[in-house]
Amino acid sequence: MQVVDATIAEMRVFVRLAALAAFAMLTTGCKHTAPPTPLDQLNAEQMSGHAVFQARCATCHADRTDAKLHGPPLLGVFKRPYLPSGAPANDDRVTDAILHGHGLMPAMGNTMDQQDVNDVLAYLHTL
């Protein structure tokens, strides 16, 4: 009887540990980023950036979803440490990619003025 009780106790400990390990793997493996700022909560600069994004960028880049179009989605672009290219995710690198292009992305410097770029950056920070 004691052998059976010991075996049952060991099994209970094993099941609890396995359940705890599974829970830990599930919760630490999921990296959830905050959702983008709702459009009705954007300030004037961010709204202008949204309009520029829709006109100049949305053909190739998704902004409010993680859908892949011709270019990588930009949802949470500044919430990650690196851009899809491997460059640091900061204003300087994103501005450089906008103005001069990168890989298959064409340079937009001849179609956007500095205010457009600043507004798009402000908008991208809300994603």
pLDDT of residue 84: 84
pLDDT of residue 65: 92
pLDDT of residue 85: 86
Hey, where are the domains in the chain? 1-30, 39-124
pLDDT of residue 34: 85
How many whole angstroms separate alpha carbon 127 and alpha carbon 110?
25
| Residue 91 φ/ψ region, left for φ over 0, alpha for ψ in the -120 to 50 degree band, beta for the rest | alpha
How many whole angstroms separate alpha carbon 60 and alpha carbon 70?
5
Mean pLDDT by 10 residues, the chain (127 residues): 58 57 50 86 98 96 93 94 92 96 91 96 98
How many whole angstroms separate alpha carbon 80 and alpha carbon 73?
13
What residues are paired with 105 via a beta bridge? 102
Output the CATH code of domain 39-124: 1.10.760.10
